[in-house]
Structure 1
Amino acid sequence: MTTKFMSNFELAEEARKGLPELAATVARELGEGWQATHDEHTRWFDLKGPDGEWLMINIDSHAPERVDIDSRLPREIHASGADTHGLRTPEISVALRRGAVTIAKEINRRLLPDYRDILLTARKLATNALRDRAERDDVARTAAELLGVQRFGAGEPSNPLHSVYFRRHHQGRGMTSVEIRPGGYVRIETNGDIEDMRDVLAALGKVPA
């Protein structure tokens, strides 16, 4: 009798057949408000918590006897344009044989405390990013009206890490470029003469503090 050899990938695919039940049980064990969801185009299941927590659970393709649990920041934090590159969301691995109840306990013990601290920091960054974008856009609208020019580019950038730009041409004698940076800071470059610069500064001087 010949025993068929199965690769780790094949063993992981076989183990994933039980992933729907495993994810549902883990979500239930994590407590009220947790639920497991699945996108048919992916191998993993999402675990969504009542306070915006987002975990992903999957069988490790290289070690099919283990379950990988990753954490992610909610999409709205990234949509805010917040700079979260310095934040590293935690991940853990648990032996599949230990079962859903123990896996949930390990998530609560080893992953969620650090993850929730990072999530709180990320939300503060998102709040600041939205504030900076609002300040930048207010200054940009006022400056455009005072200078009598239009922004160049397709509308205001949605990312608060980006700037808004204007160009004012000085009757064929040169041009002044105005950059409104995040937080409402202004940068001016010109190849016009001193009178042109005075004209631009006088207009920008009327932007409310």
Structure 2
Amino acid sequence: MAEYDALAVARGVAMDLGDGWEAQPGYWSNGEDARITGPNGAGLHLRLVDAWKASGERLEISGSLDRELSDRLPYNEKSSFKITVTPDKAPARIAGDIRRRLLPDYLPTLAFARARKAEHDRAEQEKGERLDGLAANLPDAKRGGLERGSVLFGGGLYGNGTVRGEVKESYDGGTEWMVRVQNREDALALAAFLSKLARKA
């Protein structure tokens, strides 16, 4: 087929989709793909595919979730949606196909993933504030561990502090402590404190 201008098609499609939809250049430099961004983080990719098939080229329109959003979906939940149309179809008709065949599946999944990510981000922020609170009350403490998900104190388990270790949140909402002390007196003091704490509980 003649040289294809996917961006021009995307502009026409975006105009027909309405407010909040906007055409953007694609990822390639050959004019055979384009993007359309939409409300609430929606994103569509238009590209020519399947030129080698007997049916000839098709215009594929896909809506997908980025890694951060797809990670928030249940296991094996579909995170990419696509349809194909003939490349020479009028933009208004392509927009109609998108409304009928793509958006009813894609947009609810996108909204669900965004809500789950917002919930996850709030939980992580609250967790970070709790860990910062612990760090403020421990000797020589700083955030560390995998993705800064724990507090290292006294230089960490292998540091030089007389009392040193690591504390992190457990999955049940409690905290897990790993503590090392230098001498028998400190070990006995720690045992006494833990015994007192257990009786208090």
Alignment TM-score > 0.5, same fold = yes
1:68 correspondence with 2:60: yes
Among residues 137, 141, 146, which one is paired with 2:132 in the alignment? 141
1:47 to 2:33 alignment: no
The higher relative CO (CA closer than 8 Å, separation ≥ 6) is in: 1
Q: Which moved more, 1:99-108 or 1:144-153?
A: 144-153
Residue-pair matches, total? 182
Please report the RMSD computed on the Cα atoms of aligned residues, expressed in angstroms.
3.7
Offset of residue 65 of structure 1: 1.6
Q: CA deviation at 1:178?
A: 0.9
Distance 1:191 1:72 in 2: 48
Note the 1:37-116 alignment, pairs <5 A: 37-39=24-26, 44-60=33-49, 62=51, 65-73=57-65, 78=68, 83-84=72-73, 86=75, 87=77, 88-116=79-107
Match of 1:131 in 2: 122
Counterparts of 2:90 and 2:46 in 1: how far apart (Å)? 13
Query: How far has the Cα of 1:198 moved from its partner?
Result: 6.1
- Partner letter of residue 91 of structure 2? A
How far apart, in 2, do the equivalents of 1:44 and 1:103 lie? 15
Q: Distance in 2 between matches of 1:97 and 1:201?
A: 78
SS where residue 83 of structure 1 aligns? coil
132 and 51 in structure 1: CA distance in 2 versus 1, 3 angstrom threshold? closer
Looking at structure 2, the residues matched to 149 and 202 of structure 1 have their Cα atoms a distance apart, in angstroms, of 25
More deviation in 184-193 or 163-172? 163-172
Q: Could you tell me whether the CA contact under 8 Å between 2:46 and 2:60 is conserved in 1? A: yes
Q: Secondary structure at the match of 2:39?
A: coil
Unpaired runs of at least 5, structure 2: 182-186
Pair 1:98–1:172, CA change in 2 (3 A): closer
Instruction: Give distance in 2, aligned partners of 1:173 and 1:81.
Output: 45
143-152 or 41-50: bigger deviation: 41-50
Larger strand fraction of residues:
2
| Counterpart amino acid of residue 132 in structure 1 | A
Shift of 1:47: 0.5
Give aligned-pair identity as a percent: 21
Residue deviations 1:39-73 (CA, integer Å, cap 9, x gap): 56555311111333111111115456201111133
Distance 2:41 2:161 in 1: 55
Q: What is aligned with 1:187?
A: 176
Distance 1:196 1:105, change over 3 A: same
Q: 2:13 aligns with which of 26, 34, 42?
A: 26
Deviation at 1:194, TM superposition (A): 5.6
User: Take 2:150 and 2:71, find their aligned partners in 1: how far apart are those partners?
Assistant: 17
Which residues in structure 2 correspond to 1:141-180 (within 5 Å)? 141-153=132-144, 157=147, 163-168=149-154, 175-180=164-169
